[in-house]
Amino acid sequence: MIRAWAFPLCALLLASFALSQEPGFKVPSVTLAPVGKVRVKAGSSATVELDFRIGSEFHINSNKPKSDVLIPTALKLSSAEPVSVAGLKYPAGQEVSFPFAPTEKLSVYSGDFAITTVVKASAKAVSGNYPVTGELRFQACDRSACYPPRSIPVKFEVAVEGR
Amino acid sequence: MMIAILAMLATGKYLDRTRARRHGAPSMVGDVRGVSAPNFDLATLDGRRVKLSDYRGKAVLLNFWATWCSPCKVEMPWFVDLQKKYGNDGLVILGIAMDDSESAKIAQFAHEMGVNYPVLLGTDKVSEDYGNVEFLPTSFYIDRDGKIVGKGTGLLGRGEIEANVRKALASPLADVNKAQTSSAQAHDAKAPAIAQ
């Protein structure tokens, strides 16, 4: 009996929350695809690709937007010894005009995009798993409105093989 | 099915009321027409303080914007024109900048856009009071009696903005205000200047 009511009840609650929101209210989403464990030998490095997906309908500024007032997409990563991260590479933005400014081209990401970074293990590294953490900051817009800047956490693990 | 729909609507309304009670203000979610515009006390770019209540008797277009919001930039020249066109009829446009950046940067941006109306520095409190302004631009059209007569979220057409401005100017108190010219003039003397 409880099970029979559980689904309609959940649907009812979700619909109620939706109805209580602003009409047309949407939350822009950017998600990071799962990152497999990065394997690096002590004294060497590996390139890591971080794949992000932007929710349909939205775009975010590229890392090099065309104006100083626009907020660039930026990834910040940090790690602890014996692992270091460096050499972030952002993709070039797509140059797109939007209905709100048809004569102006903005440099944006939409759909899927990837940022690469190089992970290095020091020569004296001891075998083990080491986390790399950080955040991706972005500011999203759709075709008629913009949303406040947000950040999402970024995390992956580096497995170091010591010498 | 009907019962389920009615229950959903009732729950939605209940959540609205609960949220409103928590903030001690009327609900600013959904259709806000007829709701009294929440008062605020915000700093201008040049360090003055401005309250919404300073403009009682005027029609107010309250525009939430940010320098990083490209659609907001499209509306600004229209607001400049509307301020010129309807300023003498009692329209006051107030821009609320929701930037985190320094006021000098916002001022420079507003100057470059030729803004001829006061720009106020937004706070989380004013955003919350106006129903958590989550996307920009968002504008509220407030009549001379302080009641909201319209709301626009996202970039609207100039025609729609102007229609809302006319609605705000055409409030029932308009005739009363005309009759109370002397009192309105006294009020104007106290109210902050429109031009920056």
What is the pLDDT tens value at each position of chain B, 196 positions in all?
Answer: 455 545 544 444 444 444 444 444 556 667 788 899 999 999 999 999 999 999 999 999 999 999 999 999 999 999 999 999 999 999 999 999 999 888 999 999 999 999 999 999 999 999 999 999 989 999 999 999 999 999 999 999 999 999 999 999 997 654 444 444 444 444 443 444 333 3
CATH number for the domain spanning B139: value is: 3.40.30.10
Q: Could you give the percent of chain A with pLDDT greater than 90?
A: 71
Bridge-based pairing of strands A38-41 and A150-161 is: parallel
- B150 in any annotated domain: yes
pLDDT digits (tens, 9 = 90+) for B22-49: 444 556 667 788 899 999 999 999 999 9
Q: What predicted TM-score, i.e. pTM, was given to this entire model?
A: 0.78
- Does the residue B56 lie in any domain? yes
Instruction: State the residue range of the domain holding B14.
Output: 1-30
What chain A holds in terms of domains, given with CATH numbers, is 26-161 (2.60.40.10)
Query: Does residue B6 belong to the interface with chain A, where contact is any CB pair within 8 Å?
Result: no
pLDDT value of position B32: 84
Is the Cβ of B18 closer than 8 Å to some Cβ of chain A?
A: no
Among candidates A83, A148, A125, A12, which has minimal Cα distance to B4? Answer: A12
Contact A56/B at CB under 8 A: no
pLDDT over 90 at A108, yes or no: yes
Same domain, B158 and B101: yes
**Sign of the dihedral through C-alpha A76, A62, A69, A29:** negative
B70: distance to nearest CA of chain A, Å?
Answer: 8
Q: Hey, are the CB atoms on A20 and B137 less than 8 Å from each other? A: no
Return left, alpha or beta for B131; rule: phi > 0 is left, psi -120 to 50 is alpha, else beta.
left
**CA–CA distances in Å: residue B44 to residues A98, B76, B81, B97, B109:** 31, 17, 21, 10, 14
* pLDDT tens digits, A116-152: 999 999 999 999 999 999 999 999 999 899 999 999 9
Asked if B129 and B165 sit in the same domain, the reply is yes
Residues B3 and B77 reside in one and the same domain: no
In a domain, B9, yes or no: yes
Q: Do B11 and A25 touch (CB under 8 A)?
A: no
- What does the pLDDT read at residue B28? 67
Q: Are residues B36 and B129 in the same domain?
A: yes
- Tally of structural domains, chain B: 2
Closest B-chain CA to A13: B8
Taking all residues of chain A, what is their mean pLDDT, rounded to a whole number?
86
Strand-pair partners of A126:
none
| B72 included as an active-site residue | yes
Q: Is B155 inside any structural domain?
A: yes
Element holding A5 (H helix, E strand) = helix A2-20
CB B96 within 8 A of CB B65: yes
B75 within domain boundaries:
yes
Clarify whether residues B73 and B149 are in a common domain. Answer: yes
* Residue B1 and residue B62 share a domain: no
Same domain, B12 and B44: no
Any chain B CB within 8 A of the CB of A5? no
CA neighbours closer than 13 Å in the CB half-sphere of residue B37: 29
At A4, the pLDDT band (50, 70, 90 cuts) reads: low
Residues B24 and B96 in one domain: no
Is the domain of B146 the same as that of B65?
A: yes
pLDDT digits (tens, 9 = 90+) for A69-99: 999 999 999 999 999 999 999 999 999 998 7
Residue A100 has a pLDDT of: 77
Question: Is the residue at B195 inside a domain?
Answer: no
pLDDT on residue A70? 94
Residues B111 and B49 in one domain: yes
Each residue's pLDDT tens digit, B124-142? 999 999 999 989 999 999 9
What number is the average pLDDT over the span A46-62?
96
A94 Cα to chain B: minimum distance (Å): 16
B12 plus B86 within the same structural domain: no
Whether residue B68 and residue A23 make contact (CB cut-off 8 A), yes or no, is: no
CA gyration radius, chain B: 17
Q: Are residues B85 and B131 in the same domain?
A: yes
* Structural domain includes residue B151: yes
Residue B196 in domain:
no
